[in-house]
């Protein structure tokens, strides 16, 4: 059995920082883990990238070819990842042994959770591949200071997503 941790939360909440800290910690205590980049918009990494969605699809290419903005293109990339579960994802996962620990550094756009079942299906796929999966949700602690600011941050993000096109309608 493999082990997987999906790191999710709004953009800027510290997901990539958490992944690199965890990587450093494991290195210090002599344990092996691998960090997977699932954010097609990420450019700078403070950890060695084990698997990288940017090898599958490029955000810039999608923006250019389909004339989409960064958020729409990201949605397209993630749906493309979903379509590639049985080829690219499986091929990449072959590189890891049964007892390996993978950390997935995910994009922060809330649309990925409210509009499309991409990450849900990704988790299901990992489970089928015999991975024991958990999810870590990060949120800026300032948003917890009051109930109103917490809810407002979520509503604002959800509102902005209502005009997103699906990959199916674009293909
Ligand atoms: N003060 C503080 N800053 C943090 C913390 N975690 C991340 N940051 C900073 O917040 C910014 C966004 O972090 P990043 O890990 O890129 O967020 P991501 O978009 O969720 O991957 C970076 O400038 C980090 O240095 C934290 O625990 N405390
Ligand atoms: Mg990040």
Domains in the chain, start-ordered, CATH in brackets? 2-170 (3.40.50.300)
Q: Is the distance from CB of 9 to CB of 108 less than 8 angstroms?
A: yes
Q: Give this prediction's pTM.
A: 0.87
Q: Is the distance from CB of 6 to CB of 120 less than 8 angstroms?
A: no
Mean pLDDT of the chain: 88
3-state secondary structure of 52: strand
Q: Is 142 in the pocket of ligand 1 (CB under 6 A)?
A: no
Both tokens of residue 87?
A: 């080829």
pLDDT digits (tens, 9 = 90+) for 114-126: 788 999 999 999 9
Distance from C-alpha of 46 to C-alpha of 158, rounded to nearest angstrom: 30
Which ligand is located closest to the Cα atom of residue 10? 1
pLDDT digits (tens, 9 = 90+) for 47-75: 999 999 999 999 999 999 999 999 999 99
Q: Is 160 in the pocket of ligand 1 (CB under 6 A)?
A: no
User: Does the pLDDT at position 158 exceed 70?
Assistant: no
**Candidate from 15-19, 124-128, 158-162, 163-167 with smallest mean pLDDT:** 158-162
Interacting residues of 129 by C-beta distance below 8 A, sequence separation 6+: 2, 90, 93
State which of 10, 12, 24 you would mutate to test the pocket of ligand 1, scoring each by most atoms of that ligand within 8 A of its C-beta: 12
Q: Is 152 in the pocket of ligand 1 (CB under 6 A)?
A: no
3-state secondary structure of 18: helix
User: Does the pLDDT at position 165 exceed 70?
Assistant: no
Nearest ligand 1 atom, CA 17: 15
d(CA 100, ligand 2 centre) in Å: 22
**Candidate from 22-26, 102-106, 119-123, 165-169 with smallest mean pLDDT:** 165-169
Strand runs (DSSP E) across the chain, as ranges? 2-8, 34-37, 49-52, 101-105, 131-137
Distance from C-alpha of 8 to C-alpha of 11, rounded to nearest angstrom: 9
């Amino acid at each position: 059995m493999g082990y997987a941790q999906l790191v999710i939360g709004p953009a800027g909440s510290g997901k990539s920082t958490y992944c690199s800290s965890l990587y450093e910690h494991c290195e210090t205590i002599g344990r092996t883990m691998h960090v997977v980049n699932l954010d097609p918009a990420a450019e700078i990494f403070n950890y060695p990238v084990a698997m990288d969605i940017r090898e599958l699809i490029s955000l810039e290419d999608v923006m250019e070819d389909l004339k989409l903005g960064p958020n729409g293109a990201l949605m397209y990339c993630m749906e493309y990842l979903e379509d590639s579960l049985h080829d690219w994802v499986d091929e990449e996962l072959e590189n890891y042994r049964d007892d390996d620990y993978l950390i997935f550094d995910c994009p922060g756009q809330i649309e990925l959770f409210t509009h499309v079942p991409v990450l849900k299906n990704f988790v299901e796929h990992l489970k089928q591949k015999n991975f024991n999966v958990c999810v870590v949700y990060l949120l800026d602690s300032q948003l917890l200071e009051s109930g109103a600011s917490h809810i407002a941050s979520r509503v604002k993000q959800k509102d902005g997503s209502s005009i997103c096109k699906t990959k199916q309608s674009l293909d």
